[in-house]
Structure 1
Amino acid sequence: MTGGERVRAVEAATLAGRPLRALDFVMAAFVTILLLSNVLGAGKVATVDLPGVGAWPFGAGILFFPVSYVLGDVLTEVYGYARARRCIWAGFCALLFMAFMAWVVVALPPAASWTGQAAYEQVFGQVPRIVFASIIAFWAGEFVNSYVLARMKVWTRGRHLWTRTIGSTIVGQGVDSLIFYPLAFYGVWESGTLLIVLLTQWALKVGWEILLTPVTYAAVGWLKRREGVDVYDEETNFTPFRAEV
């Protein structure tokens, strides 16, 4: 048995022999940030003053949504594609339920004494087209992100983590943006505006990933030491349409 085979055997025994102590917490953080960035950030347009430019508008959700991609990178890097796949499906189902719950709550007739209906409709009464675009873009982008990272880990033999976290984000966020903005805003915005916003948001999300690279390194290193695993997806079935690990 070669050294690499012994490492894989230890990983398999570790994964099969005891529960992974931190996986549930990482998944909970992943789903929480995903939901909150959509609830609290997606509906607000904020501005930042840029020298020589003035007030520059941006979607507030961009401050936190890319963190879900960082956690997706951590899940795939440490626990492998199969466990990341389960977490992505958990996030997808949570988004669906959130959208359904928001629709039900907004649609319920308000009590005569309650004056918050207009505010609820403004915050939670999201346009179905945008909700659909957001959920589909998340699903596709996250799976592409996880697949690219897992494959690059095998190609690089586990070296140069930054190349695969940034590389997978470039591709995954690219897919996310290419799906979301046309689905949500084609025919609503001018084509030039749509393209500018798409490219700007993609660049900002990738920039966040680059800035957070030290945090990713710290989280990955800590989890690998704590869990005693470092999964390589050499024989993984990469279909997204299964729940088995």
Structure 2
Amino acid sequence: MGDTSGLETIEAAAVANGRFRYFDLVMAAFVAILLLSNVLGAGKVAQIVLPGIGPWPFGAGILFFPVSYIIGDVLTEVYGYAHARRVIWVGFAATVFMAVMAWVVVALPPAPDWTNQAAYETIFGQVPRIVFASMCAFWAGEFVNSYVLARMKVLTEGRHLWMRTIGSTIAGQAVDSLIFYPLAFWGAEGWTHALVIQVLYTQWALKVGWEVLLTPLTYWVIGALKKAEGVDVFDRATNFTPFRAKV
């Protein structure tokens, strides 16, 4: 898995204006999973029974959102930081658009004979504080994840892919969680400080655990894409500023 023998090693700057065969598809998958995790998972609190512990509630979004980090790893490892940066900005813009559209649609007055407004508000209504926290956390966490992976790839000379994917996720998800939960819930009704910290660490551990469990799949996808594209991209001279969308 993850064999890169026979591939041309190339600097990221050399493919800045190049056309990859599958980059657009990976970007579409990233944005789709990001939006679906916010729509399908964010509003539901699920529960499982853990042996020896008992019932344990968790946000259903945990099932989907970490996959965006895995795809982020694939983007950075295969296409380089600059391409991943563009995708992060596209995902951020799509999330902003979704939030605005959800607010507009929920706020529209319902027809007199349409009786589902309350249910619609429950599913699609969004608390501005949580939306703001989610956007800030996603933006910062994804960039940290991509930066750490790209720098580790150069430092390890492309070896130990598992170390890069797991290490970058540990850092990225830590930043994501440290921003989101305090911004969204610190001082909120029903949320004690201890509960915020407990949920923060729990969600971080679960997200990192997902990365570890899916490492074999990540290896396979990265290896297949590198062979299909025919290059192995290194960010040795890349401008790592997040404040640009140009590749």
TM-score (norm 2): 0.93
Q: Which runs of 5+ in 2 are unaligned?
A: 1-7
Cα distance between partner residues in 1 of 2:39 and 2:154: 36
Q: Cα deviation per residue 1:102-152 (whole Å; 9 max; x = unaligned)? A: 000000000011111101100111100000000110000000000000000
- Selected match of 1:198 from 197, 200, 217: 200
Aligned amino acid, residue 238 of structure 2: T
User: Which residue is equivalent to 2:109?
Assistant: 109
Q: Superposed, which structure 2 residues align to 1:27-46 within 5 Å? A: 27-46=27-46
Alpha-carbon shift at residue 18 of structure 1 (Å): 5.4
The 5 A counterparts of 1:163-202 are: 163-188=163-188, 189-202=191-204
CA RMSD of aligned residues (A): 1.4
Aligned to 2:61: 61
Partner amino acid for 1:127? V
Count of residue pairs brought into register by the alignment: 238
Is structure 2 residue 83 aligned with structure 1 residue 49?
no
Residue 214 of structure 1 corresponds to 216
Question: Does the C-alpha gap of structure 1 residues 113 and 169 become closer, same or farther in structure 2, counting only changes over 3 Å?
Answer: same
Q: For residue 125 of structure 2, what is the aligned residue in structure 1?
A: 125
Decide whether aligned partners of structure 1 residues 103 and 201 sit closer, same or farther in structure 2, where only a CA change above 3 A counts: same
Alpha-carbon distance in 1 for matches of 2:170, 2:58? 20
Shift of 1:243: 1.4
Greater alpha carbon shift after TM alignment, 191-200 vs 17-26: 17-26
Q: Retained in 1: the 8 A contact 2:9–2:231?
A: no
| Secondary structure, counterpart of 2:245 in structure 1 | coil
Gaps of 5+ in 1: 1-5
Shift of the 18–194 alpha-carbon distance from structure 1 to 2, 3 Å rule, reads: closer
Equivalent residue letter for 1:58: F
In structure 1, what is the Cα distance between the partners aligned to 2:220 and 2:178? 31
- Structure 1 stretches of at least 4 aligned residues deviating more than 6 Å after TM superposition: none
The answer as to whether partners of 2:70 and 2:218 remain within 8 angstroms in 1 is: yes
Cα shift at 1:8: 2.5
Question: Which among 210, 216, 225 is matched to residue 223 of structure 1?
Answer: 225
State yes or no: 1:20 paired with 2:20.
yes
Structure 2 residue matching 1:8: 3-state secondary structure: strand
Q: What is the CA distance between 1:7 and its match in structure 2? A: 3.3
Distance 2:210 2:233 in 1: 25
In the TM superposition, residue 52 of structure 1 has moved relative to its aligned partner by 2.5
Q: Quick one: structure 1 residues 16 and 31, their matched pair in 2 at CA, closer, same or farther if it must change by over 3 Å?
A: closer
Give the partner amino acid of 2:236.
E
Q: Is the partner of 2:47 in helix, strand or coil? A: strand
Q: More deviation in 44-53 or 169-178?
A: 44-53
User: In structure 2, what is the Cα distance between the partners aligned to 1:55 and 1:88?
Assistant: 36
Q: Measure, in 2, the Cα distance between the counterparts of 1:12 and 1:98.
A: 33
Cα distance per residue 1:181-217 (max 9 Å; x no partner):
0000000211111111000000000000000000100
What percent identity do the matched residue pairs reach? 74
Asked which structure has the greater RCO (Cα within 8 Å, sep 6+), the reply is 2
- Contact conserved, 2:30 with 2:68, CA < 8 A, in 1? yes
| Alignment partners' CA distance in 1, 2:17 and 2:82 | 17
- SS of the equivalent of 2:232 reads coil
Match of 2:95 in 1: 95
Q: Equivalent residues in 2 for 1:127-146 (5 A)?
A: 127-146=127-146
User: Aligned residue for 2:161?
Assistant: 161
CA distance in 1, matches of 2:223, 2:214: 14
Kindly state the Cα deviation for residue 12 of structure 1 after the two structures are TM-superposed. 6.5
